[in-house]
Amino acid sequence: MKKATKKDILEIHKLFIDRYSDAVTELKYKNAYELVVAVALSAQCTDKRVNILTPKLFEMYPNPKELAVADLDDIKALINSCSFFNNKAKNIIAMAQRVVEVYNGEIPMNEKELITLGGVGQKTANVVMIEYTGANLMAVDTHVFRVSHRLGLSDDKTATKTEATLVRKFKNNLHALHQGMVLFGRYICTAKNPKCDECFLTEFCKTKETFKV
């Protein structure tokens, strides 16, 4: 597959920022605690599904202190329509317990500390930091991975390597780029039947022949 040129990268950067500079996550949350839980639940699960589950969860467990002492089966019952709900239930309880024990009930807004929490890997930590603090970080989910490959920005085989490549190539406004690439991949450059007629990046697409644009 052809790679994007330096000129392409600059133009793609500008087009994403122009279009998505004000973009935010579609996950619904009121504070850092709710955001961490929502992002953790959203792994391999749609934001729409997470937004259906979390109101009841947050009503019953409004803070880390309450969630830390929750019954595992009760949490499983609340999130059982979410993918991998058994592991996610264990993880968010473990997350809350560490937040209470180590951070006095306050979510740490530092990526290195965030990844010490149950169920919070690098991607989740970066998403939380991007959304909550506007940090100049990149997070690679399935949408960002797909878009970056279709645009010739990366040919890396893993999300972690793709993240490093995008950070190196784009350098700044990464928070807006991340949000933009997520929304672009979710609604336009979809995995199946991408809406190429609605795409504003067609001239940079390296796979458009596949979709008969």
How far apart CA 51 and CA 66 sit, in angstroms, is 20
Q: What is the CA radius of gyration of the chain?
A: 18
Q: How many residues does the chain have?
A: 213
How far apart CA 41 and CA 44 sit, in angstroms, is 8
Catalytic pick from 141, 155, 197, 212? 141
Helices 159-170 and 122-133: crossing angle in degrees, nearest 10, is: 40
Cβ pair 27, 39 in contact under 8 A: yes
How far apart CA 123 and CA 175 sit, in angstroms, is 13
Quick check: is 74 catalytic?
Answer: no
Catalytic pick from 18, 88, 123, 197? 123
In the chain, how many H helices and how many E strands?
A: 11, 0
Number of Cβ within 10 Å of residue 129's Cβ equals: 19
Quick check: is 90 catalytic?
Answer: no
Q: How many CA atoms lie within 13 A of 3 on its CB side?
A: 8
Task: Please give the torsion angle defined by the CA atoms of residues 78, 83, 89 and 94, in that order, rounded to the nearest 10 degrees.
Answer: -150
Please list the active-site residues: 123, 141
